[in-house]
Structure 1
Amino acid sequence: MQDDKQETVGRRDFLRKVGIGTAGVGATLATPLIAPAAADSETEDDKRRARYRETDHVKAYYRVNRYPR
């Protein structure tokens, strides 16, 4: 008689192994994507200038949505 033992992997063991493999792949893929932050190119005068402009389409948005002025 021949002993045929099939190894079965339990659900929890399978999920552990998949989780460990996924974490390893994620760590190796994320490493080259990390880059140093670029310096801010705005001067102090640019940072302080007014950027908001109440144009015609902004006024129409306020009027349609009944925002108080």
Structure 2
Amino acid sequence: MHTIDRSSFGRRQFLRALGAGAAVAATLPLAPEAKADSESTDEKRKSRYKESDHVKAYYRVNRYPS
């Protein structure tokens, strides 16, 4: 096994290794590939609004007409 002599591992070697590591890190993908929506056109157009208890409380507190 190859051992690193700490006295010969200077600033230039450190910066060279740091630069090589940055180059490798730049080539790695950061996020998975985007996928297309699985909803049909009808599902995208459907109403999603639901008048739940917290929505009713919001309307009541802000004095919206019922």
Question: So what's the TM-score if we normalise by structure 2?
Answer: 0.50
Bigger share in helix: 1
